């Protein structure tokens, strides 16, 4: 155990003085492998089984709701004129938004060389994939006759009918499905070396085969690593504009229409900020319990939580600014319909939704100005749940703007049905089922990446020139 | 297995184990300077700067990604949308011209990103000749730890400078804690 010798004699601090180290507890490379592999290799815990059964139950609710929807049609939802985009779209935008944190962490923070991302990127990317899966399910079932869904793609057909490429709804099909696909490729690329680690540790034949199959025969060749790192960098570079484009295009679904309250140019940046805001909240909601349950506190440290809280503070403030600016522009535009839409949001029949949104999204993040709150996992966890709730209500507030447009004669009040609720709760079942399977079968921290940011990963690290642990120059400890 | 030992006529190559990135780095410099050409380092994570110590060339993955993005994504996506608008199914939407190219940018962009990403991953696998589920190095039991905390150098017997005894002795002289010949 030659590496152990170094770690015991040298303090593993961040090269930039006074920053908390990214990996705590003086771990060596082998310890990192052990910590991450443990939850996967351990026997299944009762707590996991319990959580999994709960998630499966909710997934069953989703299954029943969707089955009834397909059988009976979208009339089982509370959708009606004028609100013909109900919770299906609210849930869609909610889940797509959550799906933004993973790629932001893995791509944008990668390009900015934010090394702290390595502790959380794997789980956040997984969360992204599952959130995008939930998101994609909503427009899919919202079309009603889902067997006609292939029509959204430009597939040659005997009717000579092509999709309308001038429609933001079609852009959305491409944006979200490609976002999901590229996120999957990115996530899988990151997994290859770690799957090799799991393969080389696997005891059972099936596990060895399964991990080995997906590890593609990875043998850590440094000539491979050069191409790998290049590909990873390209994926990060491509994902960065992609992640920003996705919610931009989602916002076009609203902004390109003529509805007062929707037809605004602030929508794209405001949606993107909100997406990052909600995504980081969901990462915190998931990772704070996970790091405790699976003993990952040394890899996902308070510094990680604090950094994410800071991003929530930043994006939350941007969202708050956008809310204010929307009002200002409505007034400044001199357009009475626009002005009415916003006053109606705040004081109209849905004032309670607006109040929930403001208190959760504008007030909650401001607590993170205080370091004590940012560094207390319990407080961060509670506040992150408020952000999740607030961001769902934001999408609700935007969508039910439809309830009062230009013609008072067409106004209405939207009430969801039990099946709307079934779909919302059920989608959480899908999300948690996938997430629980992930934490059970795959390494939830990027093993190779975490090792690469540890100080002793640098071949020129100071610790290697101190030979006080051995009287021979560092290379023959095992001579005996 | 009938053949008894690893010292067969033609081994796959020699495999040397090192305990940390610094030892590996300096050993790689020496292997490079010795003039070996068919050799490799095996590490649990990309060791920064090791490509220089190895004298390995830059990656060609970006070019593959670019070709995929441009010729698989940008051009076909834009062409298809334009053709659909002008020829395939002519519809006047919001009184816009038939070739309202601005509206085709989002999909063109998304498809380019998709193909660029696919090209990056496939290009990486292609250049690396992966998947290759079997490899001679996996015969070595110690080699398993490349994915944990050990660092290796392999010099293949295909290398013109390779000779079993001499190469093993050379690798031992670099401070490797364990050198072995791997059967082909």
User: What is d(CA A263, CA A253) in angstroms, rounded to the nearest whole number?
Assistant: 10
B134 vs chain A: nearest CA distance in angstroms? 7
Instruction: Name the H helices within A23-105.
Output: 29-41, 46-72, 87-98, 100-103
The answer to the question of residue A347 being in a domain is yes
Rounded to a whole number of angstroms, the distance between the first and last alpha carbons of chain B is 14
Residues of A within 8 A of B147 (CB-CB) are 33, 193, 196-197, 199-201, 218, 220
Residues of B within 8 A of A201 (CB-CB) are 147-148
The answer to the question of residue A458 being in a domain is no
User: What is d(CA B81, CA B71) in angstroms, rounded to the nearest whole number?
Assistant: 15
A373-A379-A381-A385 Cα dihedral, nearest 10 degrees: -100
Q: How many C-beta atoms surround the C-beta of residue B165 within 10 A?
A: 10
Inter-chain touch B131–A229, beta carbons under 8 Å: no
Residues of A within 8 A of B65 (CB-CB) are 231, 234, 238
| Domain boundaries, position A58 | 52-443
For residue A82, whether the previous peptide bond is cis, meaning omega lies within 30 degrees of 0, is yes
Q: Do residues A387 and A312 lie in contact, with contact meaning Cβ atoms separated by under 8 Å?
A: yes
Considering only CB atoms, B51 lies closest to which of A28, A218, A226, namely A226
φ, ψ of residue A221 in degrees (nearest 5):
-55, 135
State how many domains chain A has. 1
Q: Do residues B39 and B155 lie in contact, with contact meaning Cβ atoms separated by under 8 Å?
A: yes
Give the max Cα distance, chain B.
82
For A200, left (φ over 0), alpha (ψ -120 to 50), or beta?
A: alpha
Which of A234, A443, A464 is the best residue to mutate to test the B interface, defined by the most B CB atoms within 10 Å of its own CB? A234
Inter-chain touch A166–B131, beta carbons under 8 Å: no
Per the structure block, which two tokens stand in for A252? Answer: 């076009």
The confidence score (pLDDT) of residue B9 equals: 62
The confidence score (pLDDT) of residue A206 equals: 94
pLDDT of A270 above 60: yes
The DSSP result for A361-372, as a single string, is IIIGGGGGGSHH
- Tell me the CB-side half-sphere exposure of residue A313, using CA atoms within 13 A: 15
pLDDT of A466 above 70: no
Using the structure block, give the residue that is written with the tokens 């969801």.
Answer: A416
pLDDT in tens, A193-238: 999 999 999 999 999 999 999 999 999 999 999 999 999 999 999 9
Considering only CB atoms, B135 lies closest to which of A219, A229, A449, namely A219
Strands (E), A214-367: none
A452 to chain B: closest CA residue: B45
The answer to the question of residue A22 being in a domain is no
Q: What is the DSSP letter of A112?
A: T
The confidence score (pLDDT) of residue A109 equals: 87
Reported ipTM: the value is 0.92
pLDDT in tens, A304-317: 999 999 999 999 99
pLDDT in tens, B10-68: 789 999 999 999 999 999 999 999 999 999 999 999 998 899 999 999 999 999 999 99
Considering only CB atoms, B59 lies closest to which of A216, A226, A474, namely A226
User: What is d(CA A292, CA B69) in angstroms, rounded to the nearest whole number?
Assistant: 42
Segment A397-401 shows an average pLDDT of 92
**Of A109, A189, A198, A184, the residue nearest B147 (C-alpha):** A198
Residues of A within 8 A of B50 (CB-CB) are 222, 225, 459
Inter-chain touch A477–B19, beta carbons under 8 Å: yes
Residues of B within 8 A of A477 (CB-CB) are 19, 177
Burial (0-12, 13-18, 19+ Cβ within 10 Å), A103: buried
B61 vs chain A: nearest CA distance in angstroms? 6
Which of B60, B84, B88, B120 is the best residue to mutate to test the A interface, defined by the most A CB atoms within 10 Å of its own CB? B120
Question: Under DSSP, is residue A421 helix (H, G, I), strand (E, B) or coil?
Answer: helix
B8 vs chain A: nearest CA distance in angstroms? 23
User: What is d(CA A53, CA A346) in angstroms, rounded to the nearest whole number?
Assistant: 41
The answer to the question of residue A476 being in a domain is no
Rounded to a whole number of angstroms, the distance between the first and last alpha carbons of chain A is 13
Burial (0-12, 13-18, 19+ Cβ within 10 Å), B94: exposed
Inter-chain touch A218–B47, beta carbons under 8 Å: no
Using the structure block, give the residue that is written with the tokens 């002793």.
Answer: A456
Residues of A within 8 A of B80 (CB-CB) are 154
User: What is d(CA B57, CA B35) in angstroms, rounded to the nearest whole number?
Assistant: 15
Burial (0-12, 13-18, 19+ Cβ within 10 Å), A274: buried
Segment A74-81 shows an average pLDDT of 89
Residues of A within 8 A of B117 (CB-CB) are 181-182, 185-186, 234-235, 238-239
Q: How many residues does chain A have?
A: 480
């Amino acid at each position: 155990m030659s590496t152990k010798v170094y770690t015991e004699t040298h303090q593993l601090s961040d090269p930039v003085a006074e920053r908390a180290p990214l990996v705590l507890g003086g771990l060596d490379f082998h310890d990192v492998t052990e910590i991450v592999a443990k939850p996967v290799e351990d026997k299944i815990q009762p707590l996991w089984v319990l959580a999994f059964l709960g998630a499966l139950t909710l997934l069953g609710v989703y299954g029943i709701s969707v089955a009834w929807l397909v059988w009976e049609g979208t009339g089982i939802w509370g959708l009606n004129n004028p609100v013909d985009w109900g919770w299906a779209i609210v849930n869609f935008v909610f889940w797509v938004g959550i799906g933004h944190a993973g790629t932001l962490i893995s791509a944008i923070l990668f390009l900015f060389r934010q090394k702290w991302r390595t502790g959380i990127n794997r789980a956040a990317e997984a969360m992204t994939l599952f959130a995008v899966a939930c998101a994609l399910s909503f427009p899919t079932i919202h079309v009603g006759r889902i067997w006609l869904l292939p029509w959204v793609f430009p597939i040659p057909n005997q009717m000579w009918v092509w999709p309308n490429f001038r429609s933001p709804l079609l852009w959305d099909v491409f944006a979200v499905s490609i976002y999901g696909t590229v996120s999957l490729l990115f996530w899988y690329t990151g997994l290859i070396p770690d799957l090799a680690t799991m393969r080389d540790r696997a005891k059972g034949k099936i596990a060895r085969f399964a991990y080995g199959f997906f590890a593609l025969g990875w043998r850590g060749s440094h000539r491979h690593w050069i191409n790998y790192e290049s590909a990873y960098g390209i994926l990060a570079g491509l994902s960065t504009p992609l992640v920003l484009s996705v919610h931009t295009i989602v916002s076009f679904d609203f902004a390109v229409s003529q509805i007062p309250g929707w037809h605004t140019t602030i929508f794209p940046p405001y949606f993107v900020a909100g997406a990052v805001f909600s995504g980081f909240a969901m990462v915190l909601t998931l990772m704070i319990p996970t790091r405790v349950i699976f003993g990952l506190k040394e890899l996902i440290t308070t510094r990680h939580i604090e950094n994410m809280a800071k991003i929530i503070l930043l994006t939350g403030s941007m969202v708050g600014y956008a809310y204010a600016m929307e009002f200002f522009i409505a007034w400044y535009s001199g357009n009475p319909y626009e002005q009415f839409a916003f006053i109606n949001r705040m004081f109209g029949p849905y004032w309670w939704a607006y109040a929930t949104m403001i208190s959760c999204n504008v007030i909650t993040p401001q607590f993170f100005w205080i370091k004590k709150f940012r560094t207390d996992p319990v407080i961060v966890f509670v506040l992150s749940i408020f952000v999740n709730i607030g961001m769902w209500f934001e999408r609700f507030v935007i969508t039910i703007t439809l309830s009062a447009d230009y013609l008072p004669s067409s106004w209405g009040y939207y009430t969801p049905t039990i099946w709307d609720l079934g779909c919302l709760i059920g989608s959480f079942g899908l999300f948690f089922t996938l997430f629980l399977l992930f934490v059970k079968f795959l390494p939830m921290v990027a093993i190779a990446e975490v090792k690469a940011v540890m100080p002793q990963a640098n071949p020129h690290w100071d610790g290697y020139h101190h030979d006080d642990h051995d009287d021979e120059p560092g290379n023959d400890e095992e001579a005996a | 297995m009938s053949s008894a030992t690893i010292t067969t006529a033609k081994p796959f190559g020699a495999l040397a184990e090192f305990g940390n990135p610094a030892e590996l780095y300096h050993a790689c410099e020496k292997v490079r300077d010795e003039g070996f050409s068919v050799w490799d380092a095996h590490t649990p994570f990309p060791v920064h700067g090791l490509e220089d110590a190895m004298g390995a060339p830059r990656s060609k993955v970006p070019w593959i990604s670019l070709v995929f993005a441009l010729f698989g994504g940008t051009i076909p996506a834009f062409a298809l949308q334009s053709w659909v608008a002008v020829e395939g199914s002519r519809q006047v939407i919001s009184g816009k011209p038939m070739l309202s190219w601005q509206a085709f940018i989002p999909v063109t962009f998304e498809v380019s990103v998709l193909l660029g990403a696919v090209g990056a991953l496939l290009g990486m696998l292609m250049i690396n000749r992966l998947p290759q589920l079997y490899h001679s190095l996996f015969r070595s039991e110690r080699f398993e730890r490349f994915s944990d905390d050990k660092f290796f150098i392999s010099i293949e017997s295909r290398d013109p400078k390779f000779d079993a005894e001499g190469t093993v002795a050379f690798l031992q002289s670099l401070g490797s804690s364990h050198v072995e010949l791997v059967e082909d």
